[in-house]
Structure 1
């Protein structure tokens, strides 16, 4: 086991990530180590470390092509999110719903969760809405004595649940990566097949949100401080920018639904925004720069993750690792739990469920086959194993986003206020129900 290049490489990647080494650098270093340990060389040549590194890097770069569409989707969605952030659409939404969500804590938290869900599919702005939506609501939350840990759970629920269960927006992106990586390892399935299975992942997420509301329903007092909040919401109206952005959002949504292409939907949405005034022609470069800043790093993580998956397959160490893990699993249920826990650690380490898929699929598909899981169970296990750990990871957008809004006045802690609560209420149910569902399918 200790000589297995796949095992050593993954452990090394986890250790580097735990010690806060840059995620991209951690993946690249781990891939090179795997290649050298496996003795990857050009055909017909004897082993040489320098040549092995060069050949490994060559295969790594070739493997990165597998996620080019995904990376482009991220960049274009980032531009879409940036364009929306330059308008008052989100602020106007606050004004429309504020009277309804302040009736009770439950109304408030459920409304926040729903709005957060929309940010992943209906209006795919990802976490860009949080710094706009949450700070103006902190005063209301303080008056209602709402525990911000409950709101953190609601935001993380909305950021994660849609993409693991609904094939729209970021969910279509997640499902597309699942489809592509499973095909790379021999399992050919359609998006519709994945969608017919992955909706089950929403069940433990909903249960986790309900438990968080119950546990954190007790009043918690926060001291109000002066803060630079936006102008009076009643003074903000729909203008050319807002209508243009709204048209772009509608176009992006319709195109991705009709053509099952997120990059095309995002691209045409951006074009529609430019034509209709949602994006000022003179400020186009500024919007694109901000969009790349929002999503660029994640896009590159996706690229290097695909390259890493290619290296893991090339090493030839997967079969040995599969046989070892299968013998330790003690049966199907133990294997399911083990796969989900390993996925948890990988995703917590790199901070991206999307980046985890190429890494684990190369190992999990043959392992699940050996343990006797059905195709449906394999889809569910890989999907949930990639998703589990997104909540609770200090490096994940699903936790960094909520903290950026809730800590606007310095009264919310990232680890104790966001990471630990979301870890407990979402990861634990995902592992329990994921294993149970895999046994049933």
Structure 2
């Protein structure tokens, strides 16, 4: 029995059976280590030491979560919602104005894309921005499945391509784990390798906008719960200016420290606290909410790093690669297809592309080298296979976030209105184009 196969399959089965993903990864690592002949004590020790592999990235997530909460306290998201509603009243000559609908879609797309790179708040903007405009979407008879596709595209495509914000974390995760698996790369190659896969998701989005969900859909005007109506929300010219300044400082600092998001996130938080945009006495509250929002992803990434460390130590990765390479006889087409399938299954099970990277890199780097794939091709496979399930996984924050906002009035189903549409329009094209891109690079 190969420890890699058993551990990966067990992790997937446990995840799909609704076992908490951190527990599923940890149990799978222990079983994999035992099957690999490491012994229980050695497996636990290796798993513990391996947790540090993604510690910096996990901590970056927590700090970015706190920064997102801090920005929300300045009133910047509320200001954007108010401007949108005012703009709708001025521009909306009729509830069926096509131009109004398209401009609204464009606005949501831009905000979602900026949440990954320019203003790295991730999904924090959704529960703040989306519920207040549901009535507007209802009056325009917009199919919320389309909005789910727009939001999920904005939450995934930018980090795949652009090395800023969460994209910087994604790219660094790929580079660091490829180096740990025996292939050092220039991190600047990643955007080139991920260009075609990212374009494929944009094409899928266009299909959703102009073909699949272009028809109007009727929703009831249901009042939102009181928790979505915070009467204390306020903003001023000063608070908005400080929020914008904090974002600018974060982007500038990040441009100087591309190897880590920690300095940039800390700089943004310091601007908010020192300037008084967020009261210093609210520091504990902001940090706690940031940890609550992003802590899950951070723990999954830590567990995934420990899992990868145990799997590498068993020595079964090399035997698996040798056996698979012998079975496919150097056929790159079949090899890449198998990699994409494995990436899809693992990401769907874990629900996080960032946490999938350490696991699949352990397998894909030696296998890619064995069948003669180029460095660009291996990067493309790892990046595509890692992100491939993010847009359709039920446990992914890229699908949970849109559902949280669109279902504020109870009229949007997570699986059928978010996961299925995003899987069909974003994941499916990424799978096939990622496969083709790896073969031509």
**TM-score (norm: length of structure 2):** 0.93
1:381 counterpart = 2:381: yes
1:128-143 alignment runs, 5 A limit: 128-143=124-139
How many Å separate the matches in 2 of 1:109 and 1:290? Answer: 29
How many Å separate the matches in 2 of 1:344 and 1:327? Answer: 23
RMSD: 1.8
How many Å separate the matches in 1 of 2:348 and 2:230? Answer: 38
1:69 counterpart = 2:56: yes
1:275-424 alignment runs, 5 A limit: 275-329=274-328, 331-424=331-424
Q: Which has the higher contact order (CA 8 A, sep 6+)?
A: 2
1:113-262 alignment runs, 5 A limit: 113-213=109-209, 214-227=211-224, 228=226, 230=229, 237-260=235-258, 261-262=260-261
Q: Which runs of 5+ in 2 are unaligned?
A: 93-98
Task: State the 4+ residue runs in structure 1 displaced beyond 4 angstroms.
Answer: 228-232, 327-330
Contact 1:77 1:125 in 2 (8 A): yes
Describe the SS at the equivalent of 1:104. helix
Name whichever of 9-18 and 182-191 sits farther off.
Answer: 182-191
How many Å separate the matches in 1 of 2:235 and 2:283? Answer: 23
**TM-score (norm: length of structure 1):** 0.93
Shift of the 104–29 alpha-carbon distance from structure 1 to 2, 3 Å rule, reads same
Shift of the 319–231 alpha-carbon distance from structure 1 to 2, 3 Å rule, reads closer
Contact 1:167 1:175 in 2 (8 A): yes
How many Å separate the matches in 1 of 2:262 and 2:186? Answer: 18
Describe the SS at the equivalent of 1:156. helix
How many Å separate the matches in 1 of 2:17 and 2:238? Answer: 48
Contact 1:240 1:277 in 2 (8 A): no
Shift of the 222–263 alpha-carbon distance from structure 1 to 2, 3 Å rule, reads same
Contact 1:329 1:338 in 2 (8 A): no
How many Å separate the matches in 2 of 1:399 and 1:162? Answer: 15
Counterpart position of 2:437: 437
1:16 counterpart = 2:14: yes
Query: Displacement, 1:230?
Result: 4.6
1:82 counterpart = 2:90: no
How many Å separate the matches in 1 of 2:395 and 2:68? Answer: 20
The one of 4, 7, 22 equivalent to 1:6 is 4
Shift of the 200–97 alpha-carbon distance from structure 1 to 2, 3 Å rule, reads farther
Contact 2:169 2:261 in 1 (8 A): yes
Query: Displacement, 1:113?
Result: 1.5
Query: Displacement, 1:328?
Result: 4.6
Query: Displacement, 1:246?
Result: 2.4
Contact 2:161 2:190 in 1 (8 A): no
C-alpha deviations, 1:358-399, integer Å up to 9, x for none? 000010001111121100000100011100000110100000
How many Å separate the matches in 2 of 1:255 and 1:199? Answer: 26
Query: Displacement, 1:305?
Result: 0.7
Shift of the 314–284 alpha-carbon distance from structure 1 to 2, 3 Å rule, reads same
How many Å separate the matches in 2 of 1:110 and 1:200? Answer: 22
Contact 1:313 1:362 in 2 (8 A): yes
Contact 2:197 2:437 in 1 (8 A): no
How many Å separate the matches in 2 of 1:64 and 1:262? Answer: 19
How many Å separate the matches in 1 of 2:170 and 2:146? Answer: 26
The one of 16, 31, 34 equivalent to 1:33 is 31
